[in-house]
Structure 1
Amino acid sequence: MATQDQMTDVINRLSNDISGFLGACIVDMETGMPLASKSNRGDFDLEVASAYNSEMVKAKNKTIKALGINSQLEDMLLTLSDQLHLIKMLSPSTFMYLAADRQSTNLALLRSAVNRETADLN
């Protein structure tokens, strides 16, 4: 497991690398609590996002199991009219959640930055 400083450094690098960065956190799936987080908007509550996204990841894992799919969840993309939200699994018990303005970035750049910056956290 990565240290608090390592997780914070990854999020800070992502906030600098991604145009339109709104917020990101690394989440403990069991508790739904962020282990490290940063938001560029005061109204973007990452604790609420962490809790609800952990439930969504748990539900997707249950769906995979119910369908008998022999595969692991890597990431999930939520496309809103003005935002991109990416959930990247870091381990079976942690994931990164990142939100960015859709007009300022694109999915390929977002995924590339997240994959590059989180590679050492696995």
Structure 2
Amino acid sequence: MANVEVSLKETMTAVEGALGAAVVDYTSGMALGTLGGGKDLDLSVAAAGNTDVIRAKVRTMEHLGLKGAIEDILITLGNQYHLIRLVQGRSGNGLFLYVVLDRARSNLAMARHQLKRIESELEV
């Protein structure tokens, strides 16, 4: 099992094209940890904003009567992918992994695969 710091380091090294990563509590919108980013990518602001995305999707699923859990959410920009992976299991309830990928240097299928593996090993 990996803690937040180890999981973020693993995300930045194992996921090709990763520009930044965060572990976020979507009940509060607070990032428990961030790695990468920069002046053009404020991961704390992104963490809070993506919390609203998850909340909106959960509400929509409830209104539609959809069963099941969200695995991940993908936001595609012109030069980036923003991937949100909800942490499953008892230790990760209310958390998500967030990674920003350089679209030109990443493989989305492999990034999703790696993030699923990292998520399964995360223990908070």
| TM-score, shorter chain, exceeding 0.5 | yes
Alignment of 1:24-103 (within 5 A): 24-90=21-87, 91-103=92-104
Amino acid at match of 1:94: L
- Secondary structure, aligned partner of 1:57: helix
Given that 1:82 and 1:103 are in contact with CA atoms closer than 8 Å, whether structure 2 keeps it comes out as yes
Of 2, 6, 10 in structure 2, the residue corresponding to residue 9 of structure 1 is: 6
Are the counterparts in 2 of residues 21 and 40 from structure 1 also a CA contact under 8 Å? no
Identity, in percent, stands at 34
RMSD: 1.6
Return 5+ residue gaps in structure 1 as ranges: none
How far residue 74 of structure 1 moved from its aligned partner, in angstroms, is 1.1
Structure with the larger RCO, 1 or 2 (CA within 8 Å, 6+ apart) = 2
Structure 2 residue runs of 5 or longer lacking an equivalent are none
Partner SS for 2:20: strand
Provide the C-alpha distance between the structure 1 equivalents of 2:118 and 2:67, rounded to a whole number of angstroms.
27
TM-score (norm 2): 0.89
User: Which aligned segments of 4 or more residues in structure 1 are displaced greater than 3 angstroms?
Assistant: none
Residue matched to 1:117: 118
Tell me the CA shift for residue 40 of structure 1.
4.3
Q: Is the alpha carbon distance of 1:14 and 1:74 closer, same or farther for their aligned partners in structure 2, counting shifts above 3 Å? A: same
